[in-house]
Structure formats: C-alpha cells, structure tokens
Amino acid sequence: MKTQVKKIDEHKRELLVEIEGNIIQEKFNSAYEKIGRSARVPGFRQGLAPAHILERHYFKEVKDEVLKQLIPEFYQQALSHEGLEAVSQPRISDVNLTKSRLSFKVDFEVRPKIELRNYKGLKVEYKKIEILEEEVKNYLDKLKAQSALQDENWVRSFGYPNQEELEKAIRAQVYLEKNNARRVGLENSIIEQLLKQINFKVPPALLNQSLDILVERAKLELVSMHGKTKEFIDGQESILRQNLEPQAEKEAKIYLIMEEIARRQNIEQNEQRREMVTRFLLKEAQWRTD
C-alpha cells in the first residue's frame, strides 16, 4: 500500500491511497463466487455459469461489492499508517479499480493537536452540605399546598404517618439535590480549568455535529415545554444555530480534551468513558475543604 497526505488547511487533509497485489484479485474471485451460487444466466443452470459469463453479466455489481469491502479497509489502514485520526466522515473521490490495482482519494478533517500539560492536580473545593430548617419548611409548605386534604392528617396523602417522618424524607431529598449540585459544580470547575489551559480551533465538522445536537434539543424543548408549532420552529432554526454556536464550540472542545486525557491514560472506549475521565481527574485533584 502506498499513501500520500496533503495538508489542505489546519483541519483538512487529502489522502491518496494506492493498493496493488493479489488481494484485489482475491476479492473479485470471492465476489464472483458468491454471486455465482445464486445467479440466473440464460442457457445455464442456476449456480453453474462459468466465470467469464458471470463477468459479462455481473461485472458492475461485483466491482461495487469489491469497492465496498476494500475502500473502508484500506482507508483505515492508511490513517493508521500515517498516524492520522479523522473526526469527519470521509469524502471519497477519484476511484480507479482494476483486477490488480485500486487507487482512491479521501478528503477529511483531523483531530487537532491538544497541548495538555497540567491536567493532574487541578484544584477543587469541597463544601459541606447544610440543610436549613427554612428550606425544609418551604418544601413542606409546597407539599401542603399540593395536598387535597387540609386537615391535620394531610401528610398521610404523601405516604407518611406524621409530619416528623415527612420532614425526615424532605431532608433526605434536599441533601440528595444539593449533593448532585455539588458534584456538577466540581465537574464544571475542573472543565473550566482545563479550558483555560489551552486554545485550539475546533474542526468545522465536529462543530457542526455539536451544533446539530444542541439545535435538536432546543427544538424539542420548544415543542414539549412551550407548545410551539413546527412552522414556528423551522423559522427559528437560523437564530437557534447562531445563538447556540458558542455553546456548541465549548462542548466540542470539552469532548476533545476529555478524549485526549482518556487516550493518555489508556481509558477504554465505551459509553462511560467521559465519566471515567472525570473520576480520574477528581482522584488526581488537589482538594481543599471548608
């Protein structure tokens, strides 16, 4: 396999790939054999047409099948060979295929180089959770207002025998909410420290992916929470994209930074990867308690 990379700009690359050898002929043979088992060719029984007859009738289908197998395989090999990591869908062009040679061109965007130096030892502050009696009272008043019963037994409508037991449950709920908020605050603090360390441009394809996700979320919110019509939402899309672009850029940067840390720390690729990176950063952080 021969490869050649051309740098178009900061993010875009053009990759030329050329393959020669027996593997191409083997793929053709395999594809013809597969088609031949079920091919119906006039003058021959099903599955018994000779190779040169199959080639006359099915060359285009076989060629497409060979390309479908070879291009993704050698594209990935070429990326690995050149030490490149694509962050956009490849655009394939200039494809030339014979029984002994394949060449094609791929245009794509690459992951930017991220110079992270101090991601261990980030500073975080641990604040103890306090539950004020006023908070419990306010919570209690809201529940009482929701109750259809306004006599002394109203607490039973929420599944508690008396007010004391209900207040215990309220304290537990308030603690849970504050603990979750504290966790979010710690994560945001770490992320902001990481963002201040480095400055890089997000590849356009990755920015658009992030922006598409945020816009779709905003559209769903307009429908579910505000009852807006499809016509109204469609008319707001350009405004939504403009307003949400800074947030989309930030989200894309966070994704790239967390992926870079995961790569350096050999954190496996799975659905919990970002959570695992966050746990690692918290474990390695410098903690201060109040």
pLDDT confidence of residue 286: 96
Residue ranges per structural domain of the chain: 2-109, 123-128+174-289
pLDDT confidence of residue 279: 96
Stretches in the chain below the pLDDT threshold 50: none
Beta strand 12-20 pairing with 2-7 = antiparallel
- The domain over range 2-109 is classified in CATH as 3.40.50.720: no
pLDDT confidence of residue 252: 97
Catalogue the long-range contacts made by 28-32 (C-beta closer than 8 Å, 24 or more residues apart). 28/62, 28/66, 28/99, 31/62, 31/65, 31/66, 32/58, 32/62
pLDDT confidence of residue 47: 66
Instruction: Write out the two tokens for 150.
Output: 């306004």
Least Cα distance to 12 among 79, 107, 114, 84 occurs for 107
Q: Is 102 exposed, middle or buried (0-12, 13-18, 19+ CB in 10 A)?
A: buried
Instruction: Write out the two tokens for 253.
Output: 């940067």
